[in-house]
Amino acid sequence: MTEIKHVLYICAGNTCRSPFAEGFSNLLKASIYKEELKDVQFDSAGIYHYYKSAQPETVNYLKTKGIDISNFKTKRIDNDLLEQHDLILGFEQKHHINKLKRKFKTIKNLDKKLFLLLDFAGEKENLEIFDPFKLKQEEYNLVLKRIEDGIIKVVKKIIEINKS
């Protein structure tokens, strides 16, 4: 894989998982990996566009990490977003990866830059992270913690790829 400068996290509605992934990645960039990630941009989008902002559970969890995404605005995936990103990470094979491959067949090299987050992170099993929408905060937090652990590995992998 060539140098990674633009990372896009995708989920169903851009309200739970993908805004969390974007926010947490930006926290790592701002705090721990300032130099290593200075040229890397993190973004997120959804396949659908039902809501205009991140879910309160996501906002609350990120606040505990010192990240404020209360002004976050959701956006829908489109050709431009997919074309301009070097790495696109989703959370579910059927609902994210397969759907994008079918819907955006004309995007050059889409299959070479589209992965499940945990697969790209190097995990070998339980690669899907299901939507926590409408779960209680405690259960919701468990889902976000799983994403958090995956993102730490993803960020380290991006740094290694960009070094070579």
Sign of CA dihedral 23, 104, 161, 141: positive
Give helix 137-163 / helix 56-64 axis angle, nearest 10°. Answer: 60
Class of 6-163 in CATH: alpha beta
**pLDDT, tens only, 4-55:** 999 999 999 999 999 999 999 999 999 999 999 999 999 999 999 889 999 9
pLDDT exceeds cutoff 90 at 74: yes
**pLDDT, tens only, 115-163:** 999 999 999 999 999 999 999 999 999 999 999 999 999 999 999 999 9
Structure tokens belonging to residue 102:
């079918």
Which pTM value belongs to this model? 0.96
Distance CA 66, CA 37 (A): 19
* C-beta of residue 144 within 8 angstroms of C-beta of residue 20: yes
